[in-house]
A = this chain, B = another copy of it.
Amino acid sequence: MGKVTLHDVAKAAGVSIATASWAINDNKNVRIPENTRRKVRKVADRLGYHSNAFARSLARGRSDLIGFVSDGVATSPFAGQVIQGAQDEAWRNGKILLVVDTDGNKTIERKAFAFMLEHQVEGLIYSSWVHRAITPPVELDRTASVLVNCFDEFGRFPAVVPNEVQGGRAATELLIRAGHRRIAFVNEPTISPASVGRLEGYRLALSAGGIEYQPTMVIDATADQEGGYGAVDAVLATGATAVFCHNDRTAMGLYDALRERGLRVPDDLSVVGFDNQEVISAHLHPALTTVGLPQYDLGVLGVRSLLALNESVHGDGDAADGVAVAGGDKGVEGIGDEPRHYDPLLVACPAVMRDSIRARGVTATRVVSLG
């Protein structure tokens, strides 16, 4: 094991334990001559020395750890990206992510929090697999915490979530710009930030494009292949020339159903999805134009918000240096006074152009590379 201690290194290098410590870490309060330092360093890795993080953190009173608890993000297709973003941003700041996926299991969640707290994390990121409102676990109150891909109703914690409205609008506008005016929307019937937000975006786009919103153009269907498959007749019945699907899976199902009817995308119907679930969207025939979820950014911004939060507490005066804390900065002051309120930080969903939209009529400006 890592039996080599700083003591061993110091002895082998013929210096004191303190000097060894200084030589290895670049302590700025102490000037160690270059050659002592080199000597110590050389001895250290000849001996295979690895500093003991426990002893270090104990002495320093700082762990450099950030806890990341998710309710299943690791098993979802959107998983990795969020974690990856968080990890990268953490590393960039000299912090390390402790990740636990609770898979939605409350017992595991309890244990996970206990573990994180015992390991002196400097903050907690609580992330949900699906964008939704949550009731924050009590443990979040024990340390700095931020919510990712979820939010609490009362805005007690900073939250970072995808901008569903803008996304829905972007998707619809892709179609409008291509000249479509009869645009159906296959939406998930459940009330959720996604279904509500995307619908609002759809309506906004329509209205901005001077197109009247017709409730009959909105078709309910479960947000998966089966839903899309089953929605085909309803979609065709609307006489739409284009359809915005709640997500890529829905679009995939619709593709299948369309093909069985001898109809082609995009010639007979233009389609746009949502999520940019690569395994699907990039490999459909034709490849699906869609709107991506900003997973990586959610991770990055989650960590960034957390660091800003700590900054604003520990820092000397100047908090959150331009970092994207909840829109409007309210709450960054008033430490420990009345409860602060955070508005969720909305992260844009980028359009991903592929081949499932057909330009139509003269209205088509901006449309260049479409067949």
Interface residues of A (CB under 8 A from B): 1-2, 48, 50-58, 63, 72, 74-77, 79-81, 83-84, 87, 91, 96-101, 103, 108, 111, 114-115, 117-120, 142-143, 224-226, 229, 249, 252-253, 256, 259-260, 277, 279-280, 283-285
Contacts and interface: CB of A to CB of B under 8 A. Distances in A.
A80 B101 contact: yes
28 contacts: A2-B117, A2-B143, A50-B117, A51-B118, A52-B58, A53-B115, A54-B55, A54-B57, A54-B119, A54-B120, A56-B118, A74-B79, A74-B80, A75-B80, A75-B84, A76-B80, A77-B77, A77-B279, A79-B79, A79-B80, A83-B101, A84-B101, A87-B100, A225-B284, A256-B284, A256-B285, A259-B259, A279-B280
A252 B252 CA distance: 11
Given A280-B279, A283-B253, A101 B87 contact: yes
A350 to B, nearest CB: 18
When all copies of this chain in the complex are counted, the total is 2
Nearest to A139: B50
Contact of A252 (B63, B100, B111, B283): B283
**Top 9 A-B pairs, shortest CB-CB distance:** A75-B80, A225-B283, A74-B80, A53-B118, A54-B54, A54-B58, A53-B119, A50-B117, A54-B57
Contact of A52 (B81, B115, B120): B120
Given A51-B118, A256-B259, 9 more contacts: A1-B120, A2-B120, A53-B54, A54-B57, A77-B279, A87-B101, A99-B99, A259-B259, A260-B285
A249 B285 CA distance: 13
A87 B111 CA distance: 12
A103 B74 contact: no
A35 to B, nearest CB: 25
Nearest to A99: B99
A81 B75 contact: yes
Contacts of A224: 283
Contacts of A57: 54
- Which of A54, A91, A226: most chain B Cβ within 10 A? A54
Contact of A229 (B76, B81, B87, B285): B285
Given A75-B84, A80-B79, A279-B249, A91 B108 contact: yes
Contacts of A63: 54
Contacts of A2: 117-118, 120, 142-143
Nearest to A105: B88
A260 B111 CA distance: 52
A89 to B, nearest CB: 13
A337 to B, nearest CB: 19
A72 B79 CA distance: 12
Contacts of A52: 58, 118, 120
Contacts of A56: 118
A249 B50 contact: no
Nearest to A96: B115
Contacts of A108: 91
A183 B55 CA distance: 62
Of A56, A79, A224, chain B has the most CB atoms within 10 Å of the CB of A79
B50 A143 contact: no
A226 B1 CA distance: 48
Contacts of A87: 100-101
A50 B279 CA distance: 43
Contacts of A96: 115
Contacts of A53: 54, 115, 118-120
